[in-house]
Chains A and B, each alone.
Chain A
Amino acid sequence: MAEILQYVHKDTFLHRLHPYTKIVSIIIVCVMCIIATNLVFLTFMVLAILVFAAYSRLLTESLQQLKLILVMSVLFILVTLITMPNGDILGYMIPEGVPVLGGLIPVTSGGLEIGLVLTFRFMILIFAFQLFLISTQPRDLVNAMEKAGLPIDYILMFIIALRFIPTLQIEGQRIHEAQLARGFNPGTGFIGKIRSVAPIAIPLVSNALLRSTVLGLTIDMRGYRTGKKTHVRERVLATRDYTVMSVLTVAGCGFIALVMTQMV
């Protein structure tokens, strides 16, 4: 089963980077992809992230959500084509030959371009954030967030939300099978679909609520919220971290400078 956003234990360059470095890198990448409007450049960024994922032996894991991303992309492009027609007309979504409706909703080069730009930005954000999460041990993440001054309760919330994704997936699957064995009918039509959610969702939510009591007690009994902590095996910023941050900062600044001069 696909494990959504779960840490994958490997020993690679990316895994050895300090969480700070990764966060800084993500911020730079985000800024760059938001400023950029050049399709070639954005395609290059998507490919660069995927190449880096492959280098970190995390390509398969990175591409897990590809289906969802593609569906979202198609939706983005459709919406921009419909709402932002601009530039040359390349064709029509409903062929001109069709009576009455023919020739409606033109496919314009401008609309298509904006759609593609949004899609690529979306891909870059998802891939980069995902790569960050699956290559960073949660305890390193906790340490980094603590150092950054975030309150421990929020950090635990974030970590637990991530941690329980596969647990809920597995449990949902188990409940689904059990209800199928009881003749569960996935339902047809809108109302039917809504109704058919209950036999899966109610047990899933009740179990999760029940579990949260034990989880809360565990957190307190282990003293996670006491605030005092001995830091062991801490990651320190190493040469590789400074190198990565410098390279990306230079690249980011260079890119911004380039965009500015072109604008002027």
Chain B
Amino acid sequence: MIELTNVSYTYPHTVQPALHRITLSLEKGRCVMVTGPSGAGKTSLCLAASGILHHEYGGKKEGSVVIDKKNVSEYSSLSDLAQNVGVVFDDPEAQMIFTTVEEEILSALEHRGLTAEVIEDRLSRIMKTTYLEELKDRSPHNLSGGQKQRVALAATLALGNDILILDEPTSELDEHATRRIADILKDLKDQGKTILLIEHKFGHFRGMVDTLIVLENGRITSGGAPDEVLKDDHIRGMILPDFSKVKKNARSVVSGEPVISVQNLTHCYGDVKALSGITLTIRKGEFIAIVGENGSGKTTLVKHFNHLLSPTSGDVIVNGKNTKTCSIAALACDVGLVFQNPDHMFFADTVREEIAYGVKNLNVKNGDAVIDAALRDAGLYESAGLYPRWLSRGERQRLGIACVVAMQPSVIVLDEPTTGLDGYEALLVIDILKNLQENGHTIIIITHNRDIADHCADRIITMESGKIISDTGGA
């Protein structure tokens, strides 16, 4: 259905080709999964295979792309291509134009030249396949990431094409939501759809992938049946990272002095009780993982540590100070918070300036030396002069950590520090965190990745509906 032959592509104003002599064939009813480190050219490949690159982008293009027996240049426009190919892009928010789920899918159906009866019939079938029936009147900002991703997929399915191209449809999703997407895609494949899937999480899609392709630096470095490809240790480590070798902290920290002590904390958003009766002591030097489903209150809890949220009742004591009496800026010296996807917050012109921002705000002594150290810790010393948004996803995640480390807080909290990263990048992040722990920092991570929690953390706190339901270091 899709044939790429010797496709090379260089973006305008750049020298390095984003894609280099890519040859790839996608047969009817098959599923090809493309994986690789961030910045390897996966999104460019997705654009090339869908014909978008040919029609919408400048730059140097070589090779040929044939979609459904027709060369891409024979298609007159994107709308013409859309008669054959459905593409789900990586940002689900940008793929919702209307204000309810049903409208979104219906509008996509209306432009296919179908009769009203067929449209109604297809609408109800698509809503069922993507489990969106109950959400039909919801607006985009009232949907979770996984739900938005399903809407984007549903609107693309509405086009009724046999070829589906998906660019990291699960990158920001938790286990549960990822599994749901994987199930839907499996059903679609069984219905005979041809699927090109760009993904990191091979494990979830293992059952449906016919061909696994590894893309590195714009080149295909390996490809074939998944089991064959995964025999290579390097590729295995990238796709199915092994966290069991991460060294655990040898020292016992149970006797350490408490740095954060939460007493009977309750927090309500309006009428909704997000946290209820949380009591918790975190000691100096601990490495804690907080796990739990979406909406269980993990992020709400950690936002109390630096007073981004105030307790509805109860107290949070950080380094002997009650957070109620401190400003957020004052607490930034004690608790550093790295948000999920910190790359959306960068604003400076260089990596160095980005780190310097927090350092200046807090008047940290020996600012320059501290910034150098943070750059080195995060493995970004060579990139200090680059524009933050040019970095790869993994580098940006590390920059987010460096920004907080440079402020020298005793406690560092990270919300989903490994989401969207490949195996090696995730391990690198964990390594950095382990080193920080060695240097006396207390590390708290929120994670969906059970492997990371089990192998890297000294203590695992599990949350459910605003309560702590288990705590392996329970004091």
Contact = CB atoms under 8 A, between A and B. Distances in A.
A170 B344 CA distance: 13
A159 B106 contact: no
B200 to A, nearest CB: 19
B103 A217 contact: no
Nearest to B161: A221
Interface string A183-226: 11100000000000011001100110011101101111111111
B188 interface: no
Given A182-B358, A183-B407, A184-B361, A231 B110 contact: yes
Given A228-B111, A230-B115, A139 B328 contact: no
A198 B348 CA distance: 9
Contact of B308 (A180, A198, A226): A180
A207 B159 CA distance: 28
B78 A220 contact: yes
A94 interface: no
B110 A229 contact: yes
Contact of A138 (B81, B99, B108, B357): B99
B328 A211 contact: no
B107 interface: yes
A101 B120 CA distance: 73
A217 B262 CA distance: 48
A221 B328 contact: no
Given A211-B93, A222-B155, A138 B103 contact: yes
Given A7-B139, A163-B98, A222 B107 contact: yes
A88 interface: no
Interface stretch (A44-52, A75-83, A171-179): A171-179
Interface residues of A, number: 54
Contact of B94 (A215, A226, A228): A215
Contacts of B87: 217, 221
Nearest 7 pairs of A and B residues by beta carbon = A183-B361, A202-B347, A220-B78, A223-B111, A214-B94, A182-B358, A181-B337
Interface of B: 52, 56, 77-79, 81-82, 85-87, 89-91, 93-100, 103, 106-116, 119-120, 137, 139-141, 155-156, 159, 303, 306, 308, 328-329, 332, 336-337, 339, 342, 344-347, 357-358, 361-362, 389, 403-404, 407
25 contacts: A9-B100, A138-B99, A138-B103, A159-B97, A163-B97, A163-B99, A171-B344, A174-B339, A175-B345, A181-B308, A182-B361, A182-B404, A183-B361, A184-B361, A203-B346, A211-B91, A218-B97, A221-B78, A221-B87, A221-B156, A222-B108, A222-B159, A223-B108, A226-B111, A230-B119
Given A182-B407, A229-B111, 8 more contacts: A163-B97, A174-B344, A182-B357, A199-B345, A207-B344, A214-B89, A228-B113, A230-B115
